[in-house]
Amino acid sequence: MNMRNNRTVSLLCLAAMLPAGRLSAQDPVGTVSYALPQTTITIEVEAVREYFYAGPYAKYAQKYLGVDARQADQTTCTLSTVRMAPYIEADQNFRYYVNPDKATQSFLSLTSQGLIAVNDGSFGESAEWRFTTQTGADFNGKGVSSNLTSEAATLYRGVKEDASYNRIAVQQNMVVQKSLEQRAKEAADMIFNLRQKRVQIVTGDTDATYSGEAMGAALKEISALEKEYMSMFIGYSDFQTQKLKCDVVPAKNRKSQTYVAFRISDTDGIVSADNMSGKPYLLEVVPQPIGEAEGKAVQSKSNVAIYRIPAICTVRLSDGVTSFLQDRMAIYQLGTEGYFPLSK
């Protein structure tokens, strides 16, 4: 067996010498126990949540600005980044014993290259809040026009003259609150005024002279003001990023090799596979057929170690319609088992 085959067998065996005190059952003294390998597919998901707040003048955006604006607050969550990687770990449901002797040095040499210890895994990290509390939309301070206006009203009062009363008109100004549409029209007028000022500065059609940094600062300030006024019509959004890591362990005894890896909900973000409130994202595993071994098979009369030959699988992540990732992976538990002679 050459060096390349030596490495291959070590990965296929992936056997481990498990100390006697590490497992729930006591290993017999003088024996070596090992576990067959299994593949876990780890998926790292990143999603962006958008909290959209509709502007107070949204229903007048088409009338005064000629633009379509979203009319209601909305929360959405979209997938932005996803990573997928296979990891090898011990399958504790398939553990075997071997009796080491002088003839098993080659086997022990192989196991030393792929040890699996039960305390090598990650047992979770501290939890934290995924999203901060939303304070709601804030359009305060946007706009420079007053919320009040002056209206002229004609009142009448009775004046006694001689034996009769006469009605005399009295002009009186009253301060009243502007209607929502009035404020929307004023904001739209301000937007067009700012755009006109910007064109005048760029073309030099102004009494003042702008050049260099002064022109850049003036244009920047005008753009900031225009953005504030536009938000009163088209609204604005806050964005938050959520990350989650999930594991999928394929099982050979399943009829369907399609798994729900995770779900995404507009209200809750990335949620677990068993949370039915979200849209499912599916992990499809398609194993390739494993061919028969060629050559003459001779039954060994000595001790043997069982090892796994992985199945090469096409792994695809999708939402049922669109595929996001596709890769080829070696899935040990979906493959077949072989026997490695420990002695001649």
Q: Per residue in 91-100, pLDDT tens?
A: 888 887 777 6
In a domain, 206, yes or no: no
Q: With contact defined as beta carbons under 8 Å apart, do 285 and 317 qualify?
A: no
The residue with greater pLDDT, 248 or 98, is 248
In a domain, 83, yes or no: yes
Residues 6+ apart with CB under 8 A from 59: 69, 71
Q: With contact defined as beta carbons under 8 Å apart, do 58 and 69 qualify?
A: yes
Kind and range of the H or E element at 165?
strand 164-177
Query: Can you give the pTM of this predicted structure?
Result: 0.66
In a domain, 14, yes or no: no
In a domain, 27, yes or no: no
Q: Is residue 262's pLDDT more than 80? A: yes
Output the six-digit token pair for 34: 């090992």
Tell how far CA 257 is from the center of its chain.
24
pLDDT bucket at 156, cuts 50 / 70 / 90: low
Give the residue ranges of DSSP H helices in 131-259. Answer: 180-203, 213-234
Selection from 218, 287, 294 nearest residue 257 by Cα: 287
In a domain, 201, yes or no: no
Residues 6+ apart with CB under 8 A from 309: 12, 290, 335, 336, 337, 338
Give the separation between CA 173 and CA 152, rounded to whole angstroms. Answer: 5
In a domain, 314, yes or no: yes
Q: CA of 147: how far to CAs of 159, 235, 304, in Å?
A: 36, 20, 88
Q: Tell me what pLDDT residue 294 has.
A: 72
pLDDT bucket at 77, cuts 50 / 70 / 90: very high
Give the separation between CA 214 and CA 193, rounded to whole angstroms. Answer: 20
pLDDT bucket at 260, cuts 50 / 70 / 90: very high
Selection from 103, 104, 123 nearest residue 15 by Cα: 104
pLDDT, tens digit, 9 for 90 and up, residues 312-340:
999 999 998 988 888 899 898 998 888 77
In a domain, 67, yes or no: yes
Output the six-digit token pair for 321: 């319609």
In a domain, 337, yes or no: yes
Selection from 196, 266, 198, 192 nearest residue 230 by Cα: 192
pLDDT bucket at 208, cuts 50 / 70 / 90: confident
Highest average pLDDT, of 97-106, 169-178, 301-310, comes from 301-310
Q: Tell me what pLDDT residue 95 has.
A: 81
Give the separation between CA 218 and CA 220, rounded to whole angstroms. Answer: 5
Question: Which residue has tokens 């959209």?
Answer: 52
Rounded mean pLDDT of the chain? Answer: 75
The residue with greater pLDDT, 199 or 285, is 285
How many domains does the structure of the chain reveal? 1
pLDDT, tens digit, 9 for 90 and up, residues 210-224:
777 888 888 899 999
pLDDT bucket at 158, cuts 50 / 70 / 90: low
Residue 279 belongs to domain spanning: 32-115+239-341
